[in-house]
Amino acid sequence: MNHYETVFILNPVLSDTQIEETVKKFENFLTKNGAKMVSKEDWGLKKLAYAIQHKKSGFYHLFEFTAPGEVIAGYELEFRRDERVMRFLTVKLDKHAVAWAERRRTKLKAKA
């Protein structure tokens, strides 16, 4: 099981229910394929550095999870097929990145 992190940007014209459905779709895909969710974060609507599909903002979401390596190809294919997703990036985390992510999560919990 490898440790991964995915950040994806959803189209800003989506309603709250459409955003929830999309996020749930990708979360369900991971759990059905043997992944274990470590953390989910909704970063909200953010301004983009440059226009993507003529949009200047997007809804950012972060998933941190552990999964077998063969799951990632199908997972990214689902992102490519969904027109609600403007951009996505999945990164395999090494031990230092995992430790940093844990420290970041504990800081966020302390603020809340």
Mean pLDDT, the chain, as a whole number?
95
What's the pLDDT tens digit per position in 19-56? Answer: 999 999 999 999 999 999 999 999 999 999 999 999 99
pTM: 0.92
Question: What's the average model confidence in pLDDT over 60-73?
Answer: 95
Q: What angle do CA 20, 85, 39 make, to 5 degrees?
A: 55
**Which amino acid, 32?**
K
Percentage of the chain modeled with pLDDT above 70: 100
Residue 111 has pLDDT above 90, yes or no: no
Packed helices 16-32 and 71-81: angle between N→C axes, nearest 10 degrees = 160
Q: 99: which DSSP letter? A: H
Residues forming a β-bridge with 67: 2
Residue 112 has pLDDT above 80, yes or no: no
